[in-house]
Amino acid sequence: MPQDTPVELRDGTTLQGSLEGEPGIGIVVFAHGSGSSRHSPRNRHVAEILQERGMQTLLLDLLTEEEEQVDLVTRHHRFDIDLLTARVVGAIDWLPPSPPIGVFGASTGAAAALGAAAERPDRVAAVVSRGGRPDLAGSALPRVEAPTLLVVGALDLTVLDLNRQAQEQMSAETRLEVVPGATHLFEEPGALDAVAELAADWFATRLVGTGP
């Protein structure tokens, strides 16, 4: 089982994370989506591929345990993009200053990933969104400087359209990759492997040489 890593934010909040892999070309922070956690089997699968490619990964719960309990009833926090963005920024600030950082966001976590990239352009070297809602990042989109890869299932039509709209608002290098035959959760055979390889290639080529 992965070892839990408490992530202490500057505002006194403690989040639960899992920092795995050996120091290499950089660290990828995972921003999970609605109702998910650091135990997400889909994101864990992607993280394992990134580790094989020489990256550390930080899988992070963006809500505290108390907030999770409230959210199970109200479903409010999972759509609080400002809060989620602040948590990703806090995790980035918690990490050591030297390794290049990538952020991998899924669902609403993609908006938080892009918001954090806009807030920390000197730290975030690349962003990948899996089935994400980058449109929810709103006014942060034009401020993102990090190269951004948007990965969407071909059958996830509404989200695909929202990703295209978000891409039009971005001035950074942005690529939209559509995985054939895949739905929102990439549960089809081979779909998640395709996401993992796309993400690994994107981070591997953009984290190298971007550290101080």
Angle formed by the axes of helices 191-207 and 41-52, nearest 10°: 40
For residues 207 and 204, what is the distance between their CA atoms, to the nearest angstrom? 6
What is the mean pLDDT for each group of 10 consecutive residues in the chain (212 residues)?
79 92 94 71 91 95 80 68 95 92 95 98 97 96 98 98 98 97 95 96 87 46
What pLDDT, in 10s, does the model give residues 119-171?
999 999 999 999 999 999 999 999 999 999 999 999 999 999 999 999 999 99
5-207: what fold?
Rossmann fold (3.40.50)
| Whole-number pLDDT of residue 1 | 43
Confidence (pLDDT) at 43? 85
Domain chopping of the chain, boundaries: 5-207
Q: Considering the entire predicted model, what is its pTM?
A: 0.91
Q: What is the structure's pLDDT at 212?
A: 45
